[in-house]
Amino acid sequence: MHKFGRIKITTAIPGSHSGLKDLAYNLWWTWNSEAIDLFRDIDLVLWEKLDRNPVRLLQEVSRRKLEEKQASPEFMERYEKVMKDFRHYLSDEDTWFRRNCPQYKDEHIVYFAAEYGFHEVLPVYSGGLGILSGDHCKSASDLGLPFTAVGLLYKQGYFEQRINAEGWQETQYFSLNYSQLPVIPVTDDAGKPLTISVELANRTVFARIWRIDVGRVKLYLLDTDVPENNAYDRSLTERLYGGDRETRIQQEIILGIGGIRALDALGIKGTVFHMNEGHSAFMGLELARKLIAERNIPFDEAREIVYSSSVFTTHTPVPAGNDVFPLEMVDRYFCRYWEQLGLQRHEFIRLGLKPGDPDNFNMTVLALNMSGRRNGVSALHGAVSRNIFNCIWPGFHEDEVPISHITNGIHTMTWLAPGIRHLFDKYFPSDWKYRLDDESVWESVDRIPDDELWKTHMTLKTQMIRCIRERLKKQYMANGVPLHEVNDLDNQLDPNAMTIGFARRFATYKRASLIFRDLSRLEKILNNKGTPVQIIFAGKAHPADRPAHEVIKHIHDIARREGFRGKIFLVENYNMSLARSLVHGVDVWLNNPRRPLEASGTSGMKACINGVVNFSIMDGWWCEGYNGKNGWVIGDDTPYSNEHHQDDADSKSLYEILEREIIPLYFNRDERGIPTGWVRMMKESIKSVAPVYGTHRMVKEYTQAMYVPCMERIQKIHESDCALVRDLAAWKRHVEAAWPHVTLTANEDIHGLSDYQAFSDQEIRLSVTVQLGMLAPEDVKVEVFYGPIVNNRIVQGKSAEMSLVRQTDSGTWHYETSLRFTDGGEYGYTFRVIPWNANQMNKYDLPLIRWV
């Protein structure tokens, strides 16, 4: 063959279609089905071939196709409507945030995360954390928050998954072509790539900045693949969660420290800084370093400002989800950095030490120590997090550990099937899309005729089965499966069979293989001729998680066995596209993690809003979402110390509920062939979950409970010319020095800690004497702590402030209070003293407490 050169032609877009490029480069299209339909209709075959990527579509579509659309009045009318909606969305200032927080319109919220899941065209996410980050940004845009996000741009993204003929996961990486993605390079005034630098173990590493537009929100991503770096450093941001701990700490320095420097380079001044998981916790150190350099203040004052402006969300109670680095590694990367903070090594290391683990620097602990507002992602996860990190607030009762919760949600319009959305348009109030968290709107679900909802669901199910068949055919053919077995798929996936979906990361605690614990019982469930059942599995295992790989292998092997062939399907390469298909089309969404290790979980929320019924362990969000009528519960909330016993109990519950409740209800049809009882549960699923478990509700909670209080506090700090933090830092130093001399003594002559009997509603007088040493009464709160006694300890304890009665001696003070108990029973009480300052972020800013 002769040598040849290459000429790449990009289709010139006619002036009448010029807005398509703006639309393609703003991810607003990912949650607006009319915009997606517009791109699809330009060239459906090319759209599917290019994996629904509008940027590539506009680059490669033929000029003739565009001219045909230009000549179509119907297409042009739709184009003008979409562009009008898009431009109005971007320019509209009548947003929820402007209406409810107008005084903070000039403040700025900056959100840090290691991964973002917006759409499969941008594979820089691995699972639920990334999807949550993406949905958070979308709702921040919809609600009009002054919001900027920061992350890393992974050139190879997360891996593509193959499941080979033996059932083992194989990982494949492909470099992303930025020129074909909705990613925009950020340049300086001279038109050159805008770059920042960070120091990594005695060398300087550079990173350029890219931008992704998410509606009104800007996401800035850092990329080390630049000519200024050596080959190793150019690969640092190559893969999401790739490499070893050394790679991970370098990525997290680039994210946290480099992210703050990127904001400076962009001229973005943040007011509130939100760390979504601990990967970005070095951000707090860089904010403190900047304050120290710019204002010439000590670390404790700088930390007070950072603490006042920082929010931290922890997402996992699983140890693997909390990054830790050996101290020798921290020494190598930060030996020069802590000097810039004005700290000694031990002071720096203490910021990330979890009590009981003196050899590792814990990123979650660092984030907790540098942020004044902290939360888990469901009510149960908040409680679990308080248990895990109680050690950071030693002496405090677990319930009082200052970690709250804001339950996760999903971005409704991203995950809602177009067919279901059409029903809502038909039967809901006309403005329903602008009232997604209004529960009264969702009562309109009951207006949808049963047959219309069921017909829509069956259409979505048929589409899902078609998608799964096509994926499985490609998968089987790539593995050399005989052609007759490939063709059998046309008959095996049955739209009339009750279809269970299980799709998520294959972390072992999610127990993907729990349903296989009693294979003979499951075989009978699947093969009952009158009530056929099939199960679809999908999910990726982390490349380094060998036990998770074995779970995939186990499912694959069972799916090939007689009695399960054609009933169990394992689909490779789980991504957002496959997720949408499954949550739109299956009948039952199965979720059976090992309680209480599922922090929240959001896949069930995505299923429920589409009328898919949730069947789940009482873990994460389902503890709050289940109402007895909108799904089913596997097992109960019994705590287990033996995992084998837990798996036995949960699997038996799973089989019994399937056999006795779920399958009979699904196949109980009326004379029209409609399962009216099932449809009733579908409706309850939609109306009970959709308004509560959306990111609109979630982001509003973050705004009201986290962002605005931080803004108010920073405003106070600025108004005081930082006197507030100077005084508070000095006060904390004084309290910490004086605290060893604080003691409490019960006064036995007035009950004290004596046992006594009383009638309900009878006043009980209590008193205690406190030796404060160098502290004054205004430096503390003296409290009685009381509650029911269970297993010889106070549970569900409450505290009440005691009144200062008199000074009995130098540094000694007498406090009294009274209690009333209306219900009979046995109660316990005791006394304690905690530091108190009106300018603290919360009651437990200082982890100091003294009990009687």
pLDDT > 80? residue 752: no
CB count, 10 Å around CB of 188?
11
Three-class DSSP labels, 302-323: HHHHHHHHEEEECCCCCHHHCC
CA 713 – CA 72 distance, rounded (Å): 56
**Residue 79 exposure: Cα atoms within 13 Å on the Cβ side:** 22
Q: What is the mean pLDDT of residues 725-747?
A: 94
702, part of any domain: no
711, part of any domain: no
pLDDT > 70? residue 261: yes
Asked if 642 and 723 count as a contact pair (C-beta separation under 8 A), the reply is: no
Helix axes 327-334, 245-266, angle to 10 degrees: 30
CA 801 – CA 778 distance, rounded (Å): 13
Q: What is the pLDDT of residue 15?
A: 72
Pick from 139, 35, 267, 138: which is nearest to 699 by CA? 139
369, part of any domain: yes
Same domain flag for 72 and 145: no
Same domain flag for 63 and 144: no
**DSSP-assigned states of every residue in 590-607:** EE---TT--S---HHHHH
Q: What is the pLDDT of residue 332?
A: 97
**DSSP-assigned states of every residue in 717-742:** HHHTTTHHHHHHHHHHHHHHHHGGG-
CA 354 – CA 360 distance, rounded (Å): 8
What's the distance, CA 28 to chain centroid? 20
Give the contacts of 44 (CB within 8 A, at least 6 positions apart): none
Same domain flag for 131 and 80: no
CB count, 10 Å around CB of 264?
12
714, part of any domain: no
Indicate which CATH number applies to the domain containing 841: 2.60.40
Q: What is the mean pLDDT of residues 181-209?
A: 96
pLDDT > 80? residue 86: yes
Last residue of a domain, one of 622, 652, 686: 686
Q: What is the pLDDT of residues 596-612, one digit of tens each?
A: 999 999 999 999 999 99
CA 725 – CA 727 distance, rounded (Å): 5
Q: What is the mean pLDDT of residues 198-214?
A: 97
CA 445 – CA 427 distance, rounded (Å): 8
Per the listing, tokens 């000549």 go with 71
Output the average pLDDT for the chain. 95
Q: What is the pLDDT of residues 430-474, one digit of tens each?
A: 999 999 999 999 999 999 999 999 999 999 999 999 999 999 999
Same domain flag for 742 and 662: no
671, part of any domain: yes
What's the distance, CA 285 to chain centroid? 23
Helix axes 676-689, 450-478, angle to 10 degrees: 90
Same domain flag for 208 and 315: yes
pLDDT > 60? residue 204: yes
Per the document, the length of the chain is 852
pLDDT above 70 covers a percentage of the chain that reads: 99
Higher-confidence residue of 2 and 782: namely 782
Last residue of a domain, one of 40, 67, 91: 91
pLDDT > 80? residue 7: no
Q: How far is CA 839 from CA 103, 704, 834, 843, 844, in A?
A: 22, 19, 15, 10, 12
pLDDT > 90? residue 710: yes
pLDDT > 80? residue 424: yes
CA 755 – CA 826 distance, rounded (Å): 11
Token pair, residue 599, equals: 């922090």
Amino acid type, 255: L
Give the contacts of 339 (CB within 8 A, at least 6 positions apart): none
Same domain flag for 143 and 31: no
Amino acid type, 218: K
Token pair, residue 544, equals: 């380094």
Same domain flag for 399 and 455: no
Same domain flag for 369 and 454: no
Largest CA distance in the chain: 106
Same domain flag for 149 and 69: no
Confidence of residue 1 (pLDDT cuts 50, 70, 90): low
Ranking 518-527, 537-546, 747-756 by mean pLDDT, the lowest is 747-756
In terms of phi and psi (left: phi > 0; alpha: psi -120 to 50; beta: otherwise), the region of 628 is left
CA 611 – CA 605 distance, rounded (Å): 10
Per the listing, tokens 């399907």 go with 569
Percent helix, percent strand, percent coil in the chain, to nearest 5: 45, 20, 35
CA 705 – CA 253 distance, rounded (Å): 29
Q: From the CA atom positions of the chain, what is the Rg in Å?
A: 29
Question: Domain limits at 830?
Answer: 738-851
Same domain flag for 649 and 779: no
Question: What is the rounded (10 degree) CA torsion for 698, 704, 709, 715?
Answer: 110
Token pair, residue 728, equals: 């508070």
Give the contacts of 599 (CB within 8 A, at least 6 positions apart): 314, 315, 316, 317, 376, 377, 378, 381, 384, 620
Token pair, residue 800, equals: 């009440």
Q: What is the pTM of this model?
A: 0.95
Last residue of a domain, one of 642, 667, 686: 686
Same domain flag for 79 and 140: no
Q: What is the pLDDT of residue 211?
A: 98
Provide the number of structural domains found in the chain: 4
Torsions phi, psi of 8, nearest 5? -95, 125
pLDDT > 70? residue 231: yes
Q: What is the pLDDT of residues 556-575, one digit of tens each?
A: 999 999 999 999 999 999 99
Q: What is the pLDDT of residues 495-519, one digit of tens each?
A: 999 999 999 999 999 999 999 999 9
Three-class DSSP labels, 169-191: EEEECCCCCHHHCCCEECECCCC
CA 377 – CA 600 distance, rounded (Å): 6
Same domain flag for 674 and 573: yes
Q: Write b or e for each residue in 616-628: b if 16 or more Cβ atoms lie within 10 A of its Cβ, otherwise e.
A: bbbbbbbbbbbee
Q: How far is CA 203 from CA 245, 257, 395, in A?
A: 18, 15, 43
773, part of any domain: yes
CA 386 – CA 785 distance, rounded (Å): 18
CB count, 10 Å around CB of 326?
13
Indicate which CATH number applies to the domain containing 483: 3.40.50.2000
Torsions phi, psi of 110, nearest 5? -115, 130
Q: What is the pLDDT of residue 753?
A: 74
Asked if 153 and 221 count as a contact pair (C-beta separation under 8 A), the reply is: yes
313, part of any domain: yes
Asked if 648 and 629 count as a contact pair (C-beta separation under 8 A), the reply is: no
Token pair, residue 249, equals: 């700490």
What's the distance, CA 707 to chain centroid? 17
10, part of any domain: no
Token pair, residue 766, equals: 């209590």
Q: What is the pLDDT of residue 748?
A: 57
